[in-house]
Structure 1
């Protein structure tokens, strides 16, 4: 009996010693792993230094005309944020050249480009000095021909953000992608940030806010009247129940926070056909309907009209013949109802234009 007890005691002792041995080894292994982890973390920190970006730069790319205060108000807004304001740069070429000339060891973190564009026309911004206005086509041609300077690699990082404060630019995907390609370096691709809304600077209740646009069109100088236009726009946007369309079409400014109001502008289009080497005679028209029928019969002309997204019958058409060229000109008037974006809860106030908010801004 005593021998059995001794045997059991011996076995238990051995098991305890083995357990202690393994625990020591595991502790040493865990300590070693922790040391390796610390070394790896330290090495990673050394290999990837923190980038110190310079303060944001804002390019004011136009001048106000008439009663507009868009650019002046934007200048005041960004000056209050203590951003660096750059005036007098009216082309992509000048913007990139300024960026390269003023590049330092600290890359640009945010580059703001303020441009009061008409969504149905080219941007109010030149490709190069005294060059064509920016569209996806004109800018791509400029890039392909090597007319734009390349952004210096040290000027930007891959998380540099180029923020366009424009009207509905995010809805023009081709143009946004082309703008992005204009700022790419050899090994860095910046983010381009745009909004599908209108950017409003210098409002009565906010220095900067966004607004949802709604459109109705008519041939310039041939308005059917606000009553008929209000019925037409109501039919076009049946999901919008909060706007009194007739009141909005007769309202020119936001009189209380969130009140819809209307702005107006003209959209021109030029169509040309050269009959120099054609066996067909140059047509002559008497009525508007004849011009519209002719445009519909010419595939190339109809495609140009369709690019505007405005129906052909919403233009007032005229034409002239110069030598062997037929030049058809159209003008459409747009009434754009703007509904400011307001918070759905709490006190009535505008939604802050946060460029990190993916519901307000698209990031490419």
Structure 2
């Protein structure tokens, strides 16, 4: 098959308290304390709310509220890596960053929804490497402390150590930061805990072709046979009704390809979903694109439309995500602590 260019679209004021004693014996301690405070005063933490909510979604709004309550500096108008690095370079004011937090949606397979450059590609391992190779990103100035922390609040990003390592190199300046991300789902503004982690489990079906909750629960049983979760109850529960109780939500994942064919003879005639799936199976490039999503081909609703020498392929699947809040083993009514330096729940590089 001869094709031309393919266009694809698939998916944190620091307050110091100094107590000075009147006794002359304390003078040396006071000076040491003052010197330490001056060092601390030259550090700062910043949180980038690097995305915006769509429709009824409140993920970024909830995250912003969470970090505002902790008195972090909040930046909510930088939606690309280019803008984040540029902001850090322009606004450090001789204060080194000891913590840089980036809140952004994404996952371990596709990366972040954060753009690499303004209006550029979504941030993934491939797109970031390409940007670095081509020199498209500004270099971070010498604005880090010896123990600077770069924390990504992106669900399941902790599973992708390769991408985290590239991000670590991207943010390396006078010092190399420690990078943190959780391999679990991260949730803000929960019913019983404002910020908590959860295990995420996924089921799929072609959009608008729901098999029903009973059959859907069987899909989860077969896919996760060793999980102690009542899947049918979890699928029916739309929010956390009590601490630790699993709940579910749905969202759609679209795929869209435009393929231009050079010859009329190569132009396929695709009249139904089965023929479209057969065509995809016969084409290694597109089979790989579907496999990279981690979603079976048959879980998408497929359509193909001819426009001259071009065929527009559209696929859409509905994902059912069951969330199981992570609770302390010795106290099942208490959530695990979201301390990003806890290596049991966060990946650290």
> Is the TM value for this pair above 0.5?
yes
Which residue does the alignment assign to 2:247? 261
Q: Which has the higher helix share?
A: 1
Q: Is the deviation greater in 58-67 or in 87-96?
A: 58-67
Q: Is 1:249 matched up with 2:224? A: no
**Is residue 316–residue 330 contact of structure 1 (8 Å, CA) maintained in 2?**
yes
Task: Give the aligned length.
Answer: 312
TM-score (norm 1): 0.80
**Is residue 109–residue 156 contact of structure 1 (8 Å, CA) maintained in 2?**
yes
Which residue does the alignment assign to 1:142? 131
Residues 185-213 of structure 1: per-residue CA shift (max 9 Å, x gap): 3x532222111111100111111000100
Residues 116-157 of structure 1: per-residue CA shift (max 9 Å, x gap): 3366655221111222222222222222221111000x2114
**Is residue 53–residue 109 contact of structure 1 (8 Å, CA) maintained in 2?**
no
1:305 and 1:119 map into 2 onto residues whose CA distance is 16
Q: Is 1:79 matched up with 2:65? A: no
1:263 and 1:157 map into 2 onto residues whose CA distance is 40
Which residue does the alignment assign to 1:38? none
Q: Is 1:166 matched up with 2:151? A: no
1:344 and 1:208 map into 2 onto residues whose CA distance is 18
Extract unaligned runs of 5+ from structure 1. 1-48
Which residue does the alignment assign to 1:341? 326
1:1-364 matches, cutoff 5 A: 54-117=43-106, 121=110, 123-152=112-141, 154-157=142-145, 159-185=147-173, 188-241=175-228, 243-276=229-262, 280-346=265-331, 348-364=333-349
Q: Is the deviation greater in 323-332 or in 302-311?
A: 323-332
Give the CA deviation at 1:103.
2.2
Distance 1:158 1:279, change over 3 A: farther
Distance 1:262 1:119, change over 3 A: farther
2:322 and 2:220 map into 1 onto residues whose CA distance is 9
Q: Which has the higher strand share?
A: 2
Distance 1:53 1:236, change over 3 A: farther
1:325 and 1:177 map into 2 onto residues whose CA distance is 39
Q: Which one has the largest radius of gyration?
A: 1
2:93 and 2:133 map into 1 onto residues whose CA distance is 28
Distance 1:53 1:254, change over 3 A: farther
1:142 and 1:135 map into 2 onto residues whose CA distance is 10
Q: Which structure is higher in RCO with an 8 Å CA cutoff and minimum separation 6?
A: 2
1:279 and 1:70 map into 2 onto residues whose CA distance is 47
Give the CA deviation at 1:322.
3.1
Give the CA deviation at 1:75.
1.6
1:109 and 1:160 map into 2 onto residues whose CA distance is 4
Give 3-state SS (helix, strand or coil) of 2:331's partner: coil
TM-score (norm 2): 0.83
Report the aligned-residue RMSD. Answer: 2.1
1:271 and 1:178 map into 2 onto residues whose CA distance is 28
2:308 and 2:146 map into 1 onto residues whose CA distance is 53
